[in-house]
Amino acid sequence: MGDAIAGHPVTRLADGAWFDRWLAGASLEALVVAYADKRAGLKVEPMADRFASWERRYPAEERARKVRGRWSVETQAAVRQRAQKLETRVCELAGVAPADVRRLEWTSRAFRLAREA
């Protein structure tokens, strides 16, 4: 479980050498957790939308405080590219297209029931 948690933060994608090693050897569970983190906020959304949301919520100055250093335009592009590689890998393993990734119909009811409990 530790490897799944260690690999999920988007900030890990800024380190290309780490990411390449991790992607090559990560368990399926670790890949899925990392991918889910890139696709789901309050709702499941395309990764491009999720990244755009992060960039709106954390402008460069504020993001600098969150990730201990400002990401250059090049690093931001590399992070998005690595996230795309992660998405491709997970979707290939699952046999689905990224556009097919969504919450199943039963989850809304399950979440509502859990909140009411």
Residue spans of the domains in the chain: they are 2-116
Q: What is the pTM of this model?
A: 0.77
Give SS3 for 37.
Answer: helix
Task: Kindly report the length of the chain.
Answer: 117
Kindly compute the dihedral angle of the four CA atoms of residues 54, 60, 66, 71, in this order, to the nearest 10 degrees.
Answer: 100
The residue with tokens 């405080």 is 65
Query: For 44-87, how does the pLDDT look when each residue is reduced to its tens digit (9 = 90+)?
Result: 888 888 888 877 776 555 555 555 556 777 788 888 899 999 99
